[in-house]
């Protein structure tokens, strides 16, 4: 059994047998082999967040199309309460800050301060949700629910979608705090990173909602 040596150049590289101008000099990137688990998880979660942002952008687009379709019903200016929205925004921004603090505490592997920061984050999130629920229920009680006009449909859907994300985030947060309490950092370090990303993205989306829905809506 004989083996045929591959023809090679002086540098020990195979020559270009079909003269296509291709040698194996193309190195590209990513030679180092599979990335670490931490990188893979965080990267995958980022891709998920990007897809989530795409979904939000569809609702933003719908709101942009429908914001004048009030069907002779009330407009944003008549409905929105700027002071409540300001408090909501304050809660959410503060919760993002405390969420960042929890990451600092996690990096220092300080269980107590991690839990404390997460708890404050959760409470601020809860306050935000409460205010939003109050706004929604008040509007629906006054007969200006999502079925009143296309404008209100898009308003309730967009803001509600964000609220639903905050709600799911709170469930996730609660689960993780329970896990931290029972098991310590152990297996959930990466999830804490992902939660941080998630919470900050929700904040960014809220800033967009604040601007597009409330500020611009207020000006109409």
Partner 1 sequence: MKFLGNLSWDAIPWNSPLPLIAGGGVIAICIAIAAWIVLAGHLPYLWKEWITSVDHKRIGVMYILLGLVMTLRGFADAILMRTHQAYAYRADGYLPPEHFDQIFTSHGTIMIFFGAMPLMIGLMNFVIPLQLGVRDVAFPTWNSTSLWLTAAGALLVNISLVVGVFSRAGWLPYPPLSELEFSPDVGVDYYLWALLISGVGTLVTGINFVTTILKMRAPGMGYLRMSMYCWTALASNLLIVAAFPILTATLVMLTLDRYLGFHFFTAAGGGNMMMFINLIWAWGHPEVYILVLPAFGIFSEIISTFSNKPLFGYRSMVIATLGICIISFLVWLHHFFTMGAGGTVNAAFGIATSVIAVVTGVKVFNWLFTMYGGRIHYKTPMLWALGFLVTFVIGGMTGVLLAVPPADFLLHNSLFLVAHFHNTIIGGVVFGAFAGIAYWFPKAFGFRLHEGWGVAAFWFTIAAFYAVFIPLYMVGLLGMPRRMQHYDMEMWRPFILAAMVGIFLFGVALICQVIQLVVSIRQRERLRDETGDPWSGRSLEWATPSPPPIFNFAVQPTVYGEEPYWELKRRAIASQQNEGRYEAIKLPRNNATGFVTGFFASVIGFAMVWKIWWLAILGLVAAYAVFVWYAWRDIPEEKISAEEVARIDRAHRKSRAEWLARHSEKGNMA
Q: Which stretch binds partner 1 (CB under 8 A): 121-129, 130-138, 143-151, 202-210?
A: 143-151
- Report the alpha-carbon distance of residue 114 to residue 100 in Å, rounded: 10
Output DSSP code: residue 35.
P
Q: State which of residues 150, 192, 194, 205 lies at the interface with partner 1 (CB under 8 A).
A: 150
- Report the alpha-carbon distance of residue 124 to residue 92 in Å, rounded: 7
**Total residues at interface with partner 1 (CB under 8 A):** 57
Secondary structure of residue 167 in the 3-state scheme? helix
71 belongs to the binding site for partner 1 (CB under 8 A): yes
Question: Contact, 166 vs 88, CB < 8 A?
Answer: no
78 belongs to the binding site for partner 1 (CB under 8 A): no
164 belongs to the binding site for partner 1 (CB under 8 A): no
What are the two backbone dihedrals, phi and then psi, of residue 34, each rounded to the nearest 5 degrees?
-55, 140
The distance of closest approach from Cβ of residue 26 to partner 1 in the complex, given in angstroms and rounded to an integer, is 4
Q: Which stretch binds partner 1 (CB under 8 A): 38-46, 81-89, 95-103, 199-207?
A: 38-46
The distance of closest approach from Cβ of residue 87 to partner 1 in the complex, given in angstroms and rounded to an integer, is 27
Task: Tell me the residue length of the chain.
Answer: 220
Could you tell me the two tokens for 45? Answer: 């979660």
- Report the alpha-carbon distance of residue 159 to residue 165 in Å, rounded: 10
Q: How many CA atoms lie within 13 A of 108 on its CB side?
A: 11
151 belongs to the binding site for partner 1 (CB under 8 A): yes
Residues lying near partner 1 in the complex (CB under 8 A) are found at 1, 3-4, 6, 14, 18, 20, 22, 24, 26-35, 39-40, 43-44, 47-48, 50-52, 54-55, 58-59, 61-62, 65-66, 69-71, 146-154, 156-157, 171, 175-176, 179, 187-188, 191
């Amino acid at each position: 059994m004989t083996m045929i040596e591959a023809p090679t150049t002086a540098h020990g590289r195979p020559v270009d047998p079909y003269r296509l101008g291709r040698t194996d000099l193309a190195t590209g990137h990513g030679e180092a082999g599979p990335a670490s688990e931490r990188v893979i998880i965080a990267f995958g979660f980022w891709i998920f967040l990007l897809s989530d942002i795409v979904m939000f952008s569809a609702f933003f687009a719908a709101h942009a199309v429908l914001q004048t379709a009030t069907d002779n019903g009330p407009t944003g200016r008549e409905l929105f309460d700027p002071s409540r929205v300001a408090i909501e925004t304050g809660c959410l921004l503060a919760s993002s800050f405390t969420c960042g603090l929890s990451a600092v505490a996690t990096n220092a592997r300080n269980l107590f301060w991690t839990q404390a920061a997460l708890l404050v984050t959760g409470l601020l999130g809860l306050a935000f949700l409460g205010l939003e629920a109050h706004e929604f229920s008040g509007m629906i009680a006054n007969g200006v629910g999502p079925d009143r006009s296309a404008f209100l449909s898009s308003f309730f859907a967009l803001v509600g979608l964000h609220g639903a994300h905050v709600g799911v985030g709170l469930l996730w947060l609660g689960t993780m705090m329970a896990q931290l309490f029972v098991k310590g950092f152990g297996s959930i370090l990466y999830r804490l990173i992902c939660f941080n990303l998630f919470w900050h993205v929700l904040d960014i989306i809220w800033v967009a909602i604040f601007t597009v829905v409330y500020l611009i809506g207020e000006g109409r």
